[in-house]
Amino acid sequence: MFTFLLWLILLVLCWPLALLALVLYPLLWLLLLPFRLVGFAVGGVLALVAALFMLPARVLRGPALR
């Protein structure tokens, strides 16, 4: 909502720039999409490595008492 309000202010102040931003935003989103996917993949791999690294400590700790 805040981004939309900023865009409306830009539309009032400089409408050609606001229209250019409206056209370029989806293109920029598509350009950055592969980097976001790589970020998810790297985060998953790091979580897997952390889980494997912590596995011996979790096994030696024993079952949780409830």
Digit-by-digit pLDDT tens for the chain (66 residues) are 998 999 999 999 999 999 999 999 999 999 999 999 999 999 999 999 999 999 888 888 878 777
Q: In the prediction, which pLDDT does 57 show?
A: 86
d(CA 27, CA 59): 49
